[in-house]
Amino acid sequence: MIDLKGKVAVVFGLANKRSIAYSVAQKLAEAGATLVLSYQSERLQREAEELLEDLGQTGTGRAFQCDVSRDEEIDAVFAQIAAVFPKIDILIHSVAFAPADALKNDFLLTSREDFRIAHDISVYSLIALARAAAPLMTDGGSILTLTYYGGEKVFPNYNVMGVAKAALESTVRYLAASLGVKNIRVNAVSAGPIRTLAARGIGDFNQILDAVTLRAPLHRNVEQIEVGNTALFLCSPLASGITGEITFVDCGFNITGI
Ligand code: NAD
Ligand code: 0WE
Mind giving me the DSSP string for 67-119? -TT-HHHHHHHHHHHHHH-S---EEEE------GGGGTS-GGG--HHHHHHHH
* 72 alpha-carbon distance from chain centroid: 21
The DSSP-derived string for 118-147 is HHIIIIIHHHHHHHHHGGG-BTBEEEEEEE
Beta carbons of 143 and 184 less than 8 angstroms apart:
yes
Any atom of ligand 1 within 6 Å of the Cβ of 78: no
pLDDT of residue 18: 96
Using CA atoms, how far residue 125 sits from 15, 19, 28, 51, 151, in Å, is 17, 18, 22, 23, 17
Count CA atoms within 13 Å of residue 124 on its CB side: 13
Does 100 contact ligand 2 (Cβ within 6 A)? yes
pTM (two decimals): 0.98
Please report the atom of ligand 1 found closest to the CA of residue 165.
34
Residue whose CA is closest, atom 7 of ligand 2?
198
- How remote is the CA of residue 138 from the centroid of ligand 1, in Å? 28
Q: Which residues pair with 39 in a beta bridge?
A: 65
The per-residue pLDDT for 202 is 82
CA of 87 to the centre of ligand 2 (A): 34
Report which protein residue has its CA nearest ligand 2's atom 10.
Answer: 97
| Ligand 1 centroid distance, CA of 96 (Å) | 5
The ligand 1 atom at the shortest distance from the C-alpha of residue 149 is 43
Q: pLDDT truncated to tens, each residue of the chain (258 aa)?
A: 999 999 999 999 999 999 999 999 999 999 999 999 999 999 999 999 999 999 999 999 999 999 999 999 999 999 999 999 999 999 999 999 999 999 999 999 999 999 999 999 999 999 999 999 999 999 999 999 999 999 999 999 999 999 999 999 999 999 999 999 999 999 999 999 999 998 887 878 999 999 999 999 999 999 999 999 999 999 999 999 999 999 999 999 999 998
Superfamily of domain 8-252: NAD(P)-binding Rossmann-like Domain (3.40.50.720)
Q: Which ligand is nearest to the CA of 129?
A: 1
The ligand with the least distance to the CA atom of 249 is: 1
Q: Which atom of ligand 2 is nearest to the CA of 196?
A: 18
Listed by start position, the domains of the chain span: 8-252
Which amino acid residue places its CA nearest to atom 7 of ligand 1? 95
C-beta 196 within 6 A of ligand 1: yes
Of all protein residues, whose CA lies closest to atom 2 belonging to ligand 2? 198
Q: Closest ligand 2 atom to the C-alpha of 122?
A: 10
